[in-house]
Structure 1
């Protein structure tokens, strides 16, 4: 992971983090707002290629917005084994940095200008990086691709 970050000119910080039972708990453990935790979601296209969607905590993918941006009619979250095969990372640890394949990245515009926490490639760790540096290093597309999560009862 560090080698991949260095190869892209990125400065990252990896911190050990105890298991959290919620987004709010994870944010509290890291000393940041929940929106500062960014999920890296692997999204499968109909042609069996993938992309990464970077979505901040408290928000979820807007499928209509992402499909329109990508220019396709069908996108979906793959099964865990397909996500692992596509990235080399298990769900819950996925990050574009060091992925076994450098899939295109689509970042929600709300992460711009922020220091963010992400998966770090293995359970029990979080990776911190400047979102703008990550976006620039990987040529990510920045757009409005999320909606507020619906509260669960």
Structure 2
């Protein structure tokens, strides 16, 4: 399995550096991803329509700040949100938070809306909601205007992710 170049489209913002980091990391992990250029969307439902998938198949990569100052990625499917009590219990901590956009960028090298564990400038641990498993999902690809498609089970295995019940309906 190997990473592939985008289907179409010119290099985006930052000359594609984030997208290239994403693809290089996927390739290094032997992970097959398909990158597609896409239009901007104003909602999860609109993004799903643009991509031709269900909203639940769009997975957000959220950066979460641990009380000790480190970070982790939480992979959350569309239509769901982090269950803070579940995630805190899983980690055995009493405090977690979402950092500012600037802090998330500093921790990952990606802007909000493009964040992905693949190609992050720091290899933070990954926690994936169990509801994403067993299907093909879409996630950020390191650059605005692009989405990546990948098999969730292959992604979680490649990232050595902890798969657990960490969400609740929105």
TM bucket normalised to smaller: over 0.9
Partner of 1:48: 69
- RMSD, aligned α-carbons: 0.5
Q: 1:119 aligns with which of 136, 140, 145?
A: 140
For residue 48 of structure 1, report the CA deviation from its aligned partner: 0.8
What stretches of structure 2 of length at least 5 have no aligned partner? 1-21
Superposed CA deviations along residues 51-103 of structure 1, whole A, max 9, x for unmatched, are 00000000000000000001111000001110000000001100010000111
Report the equivalent of 1:70: 91
Separation (CA, whole Å) in 1 of partners of 2:169 and 2:135: 18
- TM-score normalised by structure 2 residue count: 0.87
CA drift of 1:3 comes to 1.2
Q: Tell me which of 160, 164, 170 is aligned to 1:139.
A: 160
> What aligned pairs does 1:80-119 form with structure 2 within 5 A after superposition?
80-119=101-140
- Give 1:9 deviation, angstroms: 1.1
For residue 23 of structure 1, report the CA deviation from its aligned partner.
0.4
